Amino acid sequence: MASAAGDGTRRKTACVTGGNGYIASALVKTLLEKGYAVKTTVRNPDDMEKNSHLKDLQALGPLEVLRADLVEEGSFDGAVAGCDYAFLVAAPVNLYAEDPEVNDVIEPAVHGTLNVLRSCVRAGTAYPVSKVLLEKAACAFALEHGISLVTVCPVVTVGAAPAAKVNTSVPDILSLLSGDDARISKLEFIERVTGAIPMVHIDDLCRAELFLAEEKAASGRYNCGSVNTTVVGLARFLAAKYPQYNVKTDRYAGLTEKPRVCISSAKLVGEGFEFMYKTLDEIYDDVVEYARETEPCARAIARRRELSSVVIIGDMATRRKTACVTGGSGYIASALVKMLLEKGYAVKTTVRNPDDAEKNAHLKALAALGSLEVFRADLNEEGSFDHAVAGCDYAFLVAAPVSLMPENPEKDVIEPAVHGTLNVMKSCVRAGTVKRVVLTSSVAGVSSRPLEGDGHVLDEESWSDVEFLRSTKTDETVMHARVAQAYSVSKVLVEKAAMAFAEDKGISLVTVCPAVTVGEAPAANDLTSVSIILSLLSGDDAYAGALEHIERATGSIPILHIEDLCRAEMFVAEEEAASGRYIVCGLNPTAVEIARFLAANYPQYKVNTDRFRDLPEKPRVCISSAKLVKEGFEYKYKNLDGIYGSVVEYGRALGILPY
């Protein structure tokens, strides 16, 4: 029986076979997060070692676990009964098959698939050979019985999934980092057989499966792969990206640099699907983090890292780059520290009180990723940043004084911000090693200005109007309106003071102006932006009022994922030609667009789509990142689906949203 969503409408129901498998478990999770009721099948529901993740997933929504076996006809009848969609993921895989053709792989795969399809009708090496035969058998069966059948052909699939205790491609794809020779040989074998190493992130695979299920026009086969690389290409990429590991780049004689074959997903993309993970950089950022948390990958990678400590031996090119990040106990700074460590940097970060274990606990955890030093420093004390920036290649100025209840905004917010920024820059001058200073400002320094009409595009030449802000009376009924106004003024004055100082002292300065920044970060002690962006789901009226205030003040709700911000900060630091200001903004929706999107995609929450009926449907103002994109940066999170897919899960983990 279909369950009801939070707004009383019928909740769609899906069956996913093989729920204790790697891909199936991730698909179950995606469906639950999208508001589906889910039924999944396992051979033995009582095996808690294999199925414990399913119990955890039940916190996300209605999930039934049913007993079924591919070799038993009719055993899937109860699972698919009442379902709108059936995702056939389960397959027999025997890596040590004595007789692949008859008993172990091929025949069970074909027979099992047809058994599930029969249940659907009643309800309303050896491995690739089995896939070919079962596809053809399934197509013939679907044609005969009038079933709408779509086949998804994923490539090597990697990424985090709830079911961690299964054989996956993750150790294979990380073998060049872990030094596992057997798995490296397996990677070479894939390339020799396929002509490439085709990859897809598991999040993209699950999104593609759901896309094709819901897209009425979808039909036939769909390849699902975002990257085609080679072992040689992987080795060179990983050696450059993770210098803390001793990745061998010269052991692959006989393999080509470029793929001989491209596995194309043009059909899928042509019908409207967009991959989130389109580069090796994006895929490995996620997979390496997943591996560090998952045994036995974590042990293998940690062991390899211990054996591959970077030693400075004459050639300075082998020296690990060092970066200072100010304000390491803050939301954005903590995420930047994490990313720098993952990229192989040695990191120094500053906090006002290193002994505050509650605020700094995340820094102790981050130290496990690499070389991290924590220094005491205060923006108000000149010289207190000297030790932190000494010997650094880059300095990321993220720390800023924020007073949520300023009696005197000029004295409590604006003056300390300008003074503190210049104090850090003076330390950079004294250090003599800092190649570039990256100042984190805000679009608040760009967009707070009187604008009449629609169709405005604000870029790096746009500045918030300080005189207008200082002369405008704030609406005291809006959360933090007073500090927001002072914040905008401070960002303009800090930027201009820093630019003048940099020009006077010959410092290479780049300013980053991020939009409303959301997403997961190690430091979860300042979650205002996350709470605002989730307010329509949480029902928090005060934060929803703040969301409305942003649009009225800015002309849109410019949003940015924190991962893209950190990537952009590193990009402008390392790109020699970078200069001046850079706006970092992933998208410019309106409150109306957000409300409608959330109501459609998260039906389990009661989203009030009428709250913003007096606001425009389309943005009056676009905060443009054209400069950053033109210079080679590519956003990973470019739509509401991508951003909220990440942030909703984070909000649930923090308790901002119920499961």
**Per-residue pLDDT tens for 300-317?**
555 455 444 333 333 333
- pLDDT at residue number 223: 94
Residue 511 in this model has a pLDDT that exceeds 90 = yes
Look at 19 and 402; give whichever has higher pLDDT: 19
Query: Beta-carbon neighbour count of residue 308 at 10 Å?
Result: 16
- Range from 254-263, 287-296, 582-591 carrying the lowest mean pLDDT: 287-296
Same fold yes or no, 155-309 and 315-654: yes
Q: Which pLDDT score is estimated for 127?
A: 41
Q: Please report the sign of the dihedral spanned by the C-alpha atoms of residue 578, residue 580, residue 584, residue 590.
A: negative
Each residue of 178-209: pLDDT tens digit? 888 888 888 888 888 889 999 999 999 999 99
Tell me, what's the pLDDT at 221? 87
Is this prediction's pTM over 0.85? no
What's the CATH code, domain 315-654?
3.40.50.720
Is the pLDDT at 636 greater than 80, yes or no? yes
Phi then psi for residue 87, to 5 deg, are: -105, 110
Tokens, residue 527:
């979650």
Is there a contact between 225 and 199 (Cβ–Cβ < 8 Å)?
yes
* More confident position, 403 or 583: 583
The tokens of 409 are what? 């905004």
Give the pLDDT band (50/70/90) at residue 96. very low
Question: What is the per-residue pLDDT for 102?
Answer: 43
Residue 389 has pLDDT above 50, yes or no: yes
pLDDT tens by residue, 136-174: 666 776 678 777 777 888 889 999 888 866 566 888 899
Look at residue 287 in the predicted model and tell me its pLDDT: 87
Greater pLDDT, 373 or 6: 373
Looking at the chain, the whole-number percentage of residues with pLDDT higher than 90 is 50
Mean pLDDT (whole number) for 25-32: 94
Q: Which residue has the higher pLDDT, 2 or 550?
A: 550
Supply the mean pLDDT for the chain: 84
CB 635 within 8 A of CB 562: no
Higher pLDDT, 318 or 353: 353
Distance separating alpha carbons of residues 579 and 436, to the nearest angstrom = 10
155-309 adopts what CATH topology? Answer: Rossmann fold (3.40.50)
CA gap 17, 80 in Å, rounded:
9
pLDDT at residue number 430: 95
What is the radius of gyration, based on Cα positions, of the chain?
A: 27
Report the percentage of the chain scoring pLDDT > 70: 83
| pLDDT-based confidence at residue 320 (cuts at 50, 70, 90) | confident
pLDDT value of residue 482: 64
User: What CATH topology corresponds to 1-147?
Assistant: Rossmann fold (3.40.50)
Spell out the domain ranges in the chain: 1-147, 155-309, 315-654
599 or 404: which leads in pLDDT: 599
Query: Residue 161 has which token pair?
Result: 């999934």
pLDDT exceeds cutoff 50 at 291: yes
